[in-house]
Chain A
Amino acid sequence: MSLDRLVELVETLRTAKLRTALTALSVAWGIFMLVILLGSGAGIQNGAEHQFRDDATNSLWIWPGATSLPFEGHKIGRNVRLTDEDYDAVKRHVDGVVHITGRFYLQGQFTVSYHGAVSSFDVRACHPDHQFLENTLITSGRFINQLDLAENRKVAVIGPVAVERLFKGKDPIGEWINVRGMMVRVVGVFEDEGGEEEQSKIYIPISTAQMAYGGASQIHQLMFTIDEKTDVEHSVAVAGQTKRLLAARHHFSPEDKRALRVRNTVEDFQRIVMLFQRIRVFIWIVGIGTIVAGIVGVGNIMLISVRERTKEIGIRKALGATPWAIVSQIVLEALIVTGVSGYLGLFAGIATLELVRKHVPPSDFFRDPSVNLGVVVGATVLLVLSGLLAGYFPARMAARVNPIVALRAE
């Protein structure tokens, strides 16, 4: 297309301000809304997925409780006490267990000191596999191992918060720290995505804690990952098997919901995934609706504008314009208006998402709103094309009319 034709087009567009503005607004608004919609959907989803980031999403968490159903002559209200033997039994007999750990609860904050530096921390006593359940990443040294466990070693793995508060940047590996009167040696440093709270934990071997704090072989919580990541049915079966095994060992009814509490993260996560699939479908329906509304809007404006311009078309034809010259003018006008405004809508939408990303603190409900550029560019192209078609057909009809018929139009 020659520059000359472009100038002619732009002049016509400039003179038909209202029509141009309406078409532009309809396209820009449609694309803008689509971007905001898809971005918000992604933001909500990212927020929810973020909540799961530091935990394995294919794990079962088990807490013993008190019986609530009479069983084999036992009365209700009996406390269930899990031990290392239960840990071994589950590990050996339940199918599909991959990584398994117990937790021995150490109540309250522990005062921890190193060469005069004092602070308090949560101490977690667990098995070596614990790092796979909390997605704990070792950044130097190692995590608790089997030997630590067997020999009840006084070792600890500390987080970045402890490194900063106690060691102030010094390498902590091999150093002894005082954990509420017990001297333990730091063997590793970890990082955890679970935020400040997880970052300030101190891990020690479960056997060491059981011995030091009079726990004999008691376990307060049992956690393990299973081999299938997304198979909810399988996870429920594994949970059932575990429950039956522990029920038989401790003489309570497998139906007793209070005797043993089970949290199934496969189920939880799949529920969230399903919820988001539904939200996504909903967003797509609304998005497609927005685009269809945009297409109808652009189509209408083009139709009206061609009809409004019948007389102009008649004059141009009387002066020797070919139908092609007329059709291409109208179509190119549509292309320029919808293209430019579509781009502006796209730009405004993405800029808005960027502003939100910068100025709204990320939370579990909303974080990192982003859009698939391919999708929105595709939608823009679709709108532009529909503008072209909506301009093309009436323009072709109008351009075929006898000039004298067109000239008679008012």
Chain B
Amino acid sequence: MIHLERVNKSYHLGHHALHVLRNVDLTIEEGELVSIMGSSGSGKSTLLNILGILDDYDSGTYRLGDALIRDLSESRAAQYRNRFIGFVFQSFNLLPFKTAAENVALPLFYQGVPRARRNALALEYLARVGLEAWAMHLPAEMSGGQKQRVAIARALITKPRVLLADEPTGALDSKTSEQIMNLLIDVNASGVTVVIVTHEPKVAARTHRTIRLRDGVIEADEDRA
């Protein structure tokens, strides 16, 4: 499903370049449940953003399914983000002026799905994360865990093949974290490939495979299955 080969990424800060990912080789098969760990600044988010086509890389190749993700046109990139990938952020990134249901329905708007169908599906996905009663609430009226569930519903509504989550529980207490993890495990059980960046060993322990990054290099790749 995901296939990286000698991927490099640097940030240029004035004169010196910061080499964040160094020759990363990585293959994740369809249906896997993977966590990525590593100390702060090791390049986890950078890697996940590249996987989510939110950022580009300097050299190497990245294949998502059969597609080579490289120098994509903007509309192509938008299409892959919309149809293949669901992304969950640590900071939720909900649109503050839209209700939970509207937030969840938004990706379908960009697919041209009619309004009524969009709203019906949004309610269905909100129900899946246990928030049907909160459909008409604005993000500001919800707790962190609730917001993250809305974000997950939004990521899933397009039936993506890959769900990428960058510290989805980073802003949540341990009990809420566990609920979110249960949800992600359910998602994975339904056949979606799930990649989670996390600092928490507890979270990583519930995934089937953990990739450890250190200064932009894959240091270890442990399979638990």
Contacts and interface: CB of A to CB of B under 8 A. Distances in A.
Whether both chains belong to one complex is answered with yes
Interface of A: 4, 7-8, 11-12, 15-16, 311-312, 314-325, 399-400, 402-404, 407
Contacts of B52: 318
Interface stretch (B72-80, B128-136, B142-150): B72-80
A320 B74 contact: no
Interface stretch (B27-35, B102-110, B169-177): B102-110
Nearest to A403: B54
Given A315-B95, A402-B55, A322 B78 contact: yes
Interface stretch (B81-89, B182-190, B198-206): B81-89
A322 B74 contact: yes
A7 B115 contact: yes
A-B pairs, top 8 by smallest CB distance, nearest first, are A320-B82, A15-B97, A322-B78, A404-B54, A404-B55, A403-B54, A320-B81, A319-B107
Nearest to A319: B107
B154 interface: yes
Contacts, number: 70
A314 B75 CA distance: 15
B158 interface: yes
B110 A321 contact: yes
Nearest to B158: A320
Given A320-B83, A322-B74, A402 B110 contact: no
A351 B215 CA distance: 70
Contact of B93 (A7, A402, A407): A407
Contact of A318 (B56, B93, B109): B93
Given A15-B97, A321-B78, 4 more contacts: A4-B115, A311-B93, A319-B110, A322-B75
Contacts of B107: 319-320
A388 B93 CA distance: 28
Interface string B49-71: 10010111000000000000000
A315 B158 CA distance: 15
Nearest to A17: B97
B40 interface: no
B78 A4 contact: no
A366 B3 CA distance: 80
A317 B49 contact: no
Contact of A323 (B75, B89, B98): B75
Nearest to B76: A322
Name which of A7, A319, A324 has the most chain B CB atoms within 10 A of its CB.
A319
A320 B114 contact: no
Name which of B54, B102, B115 has the most chain A CB atoms within 10 A of its CB.
B54
B146 to A, nearest CB: 18
A79 B225 CA distance: 131
Given A319-B154, A322-B74, A322-B110, A312 B54 contact: no
B111 interface: yes
B74 A318 contact: no
Contacts of B79: 320, 322
10 contacts: A8-B109, A15-B98, A315-B95, A316-B106, A316-B110, A319-B106, A320-B107, A321-B110, A325-B78, A400-B74
Given A321-B110, A402-B54, A403-B54, A16 B97 contact: yes
Contacts of B114: 4
Name which of B52, B94, B106, B111 has the most chain A CB atoms within 10 A of its CB.
B106
B82 A319 contact: yes
B171 to A, nearest CB: 15
A12 B102 CA distance: 11
Given A324-B75, A400-B74, A403-B54, A319 B81 contact: yes
A125 B114 CA distance: 86
A12 B154 CA distance: 19
A99 to B, nearest CB: 76
B84 to A, nearest CB: 10
B161 to A, nearest CB: 14
Contacts of A322: 74-75, 78-79, 110
Contacts of A8: 109
A322 B72 CA distance: 12
Contacts of B95: 312, 315-316
A120 B154 CA distance: 93
Contacts of B110: 316, 319-322, 325
A314 B52 CA distance: 13
A403 B102 CA distance: 20
A321 B75 CA distance: 8
Given A4-B114, A407-B54, A318 B75 contact: no
